[in-house]
Chains A and B, each alone.
Chain A
Amino acid sequence: DAGVIQSPRHEVTEMGQEVTLRCKPISGHNSLFWYRQTMMRGLELLIYFNNNVPIDDSGMPEDRFSAKMPNASFSTLKIQPSEPRDSAVYFCASTLKGPRDGYTFGSGTRLTVV
């Protein structure tokens, strides 16, 4: 099992550019979560999907952020246009509803907007 796979690992972009983060959940997991981690705000849930359907996007900061899950094995988080305050580590996590409900996190994408 390769675990949750995120790409890229690091992204440096200029303010105003579009940024796309990618995630492949563990095969068979039916829930996927996007988190953002900063020193000031900790781990914040941005959005989560269940069976590819967005269930709760109340954590998405603003309209500049969007997320999709076109199929069970792929999700994207897009920021357009990016701003310096978007700089953070973005984690994707997946889980399978069942006796053991812990999340498995990906390695994260460290985003720097200059």
Chain B
Amino acid sequence: GENVEQHPSTLSVQEGDSAVIKCTYSDSASNYFPWYKQELGKRPQLIIDIRSNVGEKKDQRIAVTLNKTAKHFSLHITETQPEDSAVYFCAPRGGSNYKLTFGKGTLLTVNP
């Protein structure tokens, strides 16, 4: 199965700074790379995703970059705000099914 690792496990930044979370995966056939945000006590919600034929995708303050050769993709959040505080999960999908394998999560804290 897919092995997924996220780094760092915790990240604390000042409001207005940028945050970067990296996800490495093992299945070279993986073709879909989403990031989920989970606020305390809430459900995980999809915030951005990218497919294997694209190297970068941006949506306002968030972006995802993909390096298929190195088998990693990253979440970038610029101009962070306190409401960005949450746990972020990467969840690459293997090439042969619809299963998403979730990383262990990164707790992002944005300090006012």
Interface residues of A, Cβ cutoff 8 Å to B: 31, 33, 35, 42-43, 45, 48, 50, 55-56, 91, 95, 97, 100-108
Write out the residue numbers on chain B whose beta carbons fall within 8 Å of the beta carbon of A91. Answer: 43-44
Q: Which of chain A's residues has its CB closest to B45's CB?
A: A105
**Which of B42, B46, B98, B105 sits near A42, CB closer than 8 Å?**
B105
Number of B residues near A (Cβ < 8 Å) is: 19
Q: Do the beta carbons of A105 and B43 come within 8 Å of each other?
A: yes
Q: Do the beta carbons of B97 and A55 come within 8 Å of each other?
A: yes
Interface residues of B, Cβ cutoff 8 Å to A: 32, 34, 42-46, 49, 89, 93, 97-105
Q: Which of chain A's residues has its CB closest to B103's CB?
A: A42
Write out the residue numbers on chain A whose beta carbons fall within 8 Å of the beta carbon of B89. Answer: 43
Interface of A, secondary structure class, is strand
Q: Do the beta carbons of A45 and B44 come within 8 Å of each other?
A: no
Bound state CA distance, A106 and B42, in angstroms? 9
Bound state CA distance, A42 and B9, in angstroms? 12
Bound state CA distance, A71 and B55, in angstroms? 39
Write out the residue numbers on chain B whose beta carbons fall within 8 Å of the beta carbon of A45. Answer: 99-102
**Which of B46, B97, B104 sits near A103, CB closer than 8 Å?**
B46
Q: Do the beta carbons of A101 and B43 come within 8 Å of each other?
A: no
Write out the residue numbers on chain B whose beta carbons fall within 8 Å of the beta carbon of A43. Answer: 44, 89, 102, 105
Given A102-B46, A103-B46, 6 more A-B residue pairs with CB atoms under 8 Å apart are A42-B102, A42-B104, A43-B44, A43-B105, A56-B97, A91-B44
Bound state CA distance, A105 and B42, in angstroms? 10
Interface pairs A-B: 9 shortest CB-CB? A102-B46, A43-B102, A105-B43, A42-B104, A31-B98, A105-B44, A102-B34, A107-B43, A101-B32
Bound state CA distance, A33 and B43, in angstroms? 14
